[in-house]
């Protein structure tokens, strides 16, 4: 039933994932080349594909993703799919925020979500995630140029 254990220090995919995540967390990478397979239902797969299309340094809302799927009333279902994203950071679910700008619905917790959003801030802008969270007006996109093992082993605060 179980496959052989993978040596995370020598397995090609784990090494590539670690390199790319380290580069991302150092601010040296904005997209991932890591091939991923996300086994899920068709709806979830469509949502996860849209997550990978959200550019570095930009956010969108659950409602905006639902609208792109053709029905704005699917925002809660979109949120459920985002919450089940098996490759957070690679499919950047941290870039999805609540309609009022709240930092909701991140499996890694609000502190990690805030950290990742602030990591992607352009030079000269600080505290954007805090400002975003305090917004009360609706928006669909703000432009401001893990479930992986690494959530457990990688210190995001170093």
Active-site residue among 64, 89, 93, 132? Answer: 93
Active site residue 93: yes
With beta carbons less than 8 A apart as the criterion, state whether 59 and 95 touch: yes
Structure tokens at 123: 């030079």
H helices of 26-143, where? 42-53, 62-68, 75-83, 110-119, 128-134
Structure tokens at 54: 């959200």
Residues making up the chain, counted from first to last: 158
H helices of the chain, where? 12-25, 42-53, 62-68, 75-83, 110-119, 128-134, 150-153
- In angstroms, how far is CA 78 from the centroid of its own chain? 14
Give the residue numbers annotated as catalytic, written as ranges.
93
């Amino acid at each position: 039933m179980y496959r052989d254990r993978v040596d995370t220090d020598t397995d090609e995919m784990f090494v590539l994932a670690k390199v790319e995540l380290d580069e991302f967390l150092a601010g040296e990478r904005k997209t991932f080349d890591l091939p991923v397979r996300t086994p899920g239902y068709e709806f979830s797969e469509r949502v996860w594909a849209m997550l990978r299309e959200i550019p570095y340094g930009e956010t969108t809302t659950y409602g905006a993703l639902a609208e792109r799927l053709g029905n704005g009333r699917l925002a809660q279902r979109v949120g459920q799919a985002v919450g089940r994203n098996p490759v957070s950071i690679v499919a950047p679910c941290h870039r999805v925020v609540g309609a009022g700008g709240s930092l909701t619905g991140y499996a890694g917790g609000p502190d990690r979500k805030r950290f990742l959003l602030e990591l992607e801030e352009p030079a000269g802008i600080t505290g954007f995630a805090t400002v975003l969270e305090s917004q009360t007006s609706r928006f669909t996109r703000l432009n401001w140029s893990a479930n992986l093992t690494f959530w457990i082993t990688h210190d995001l605060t170093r």
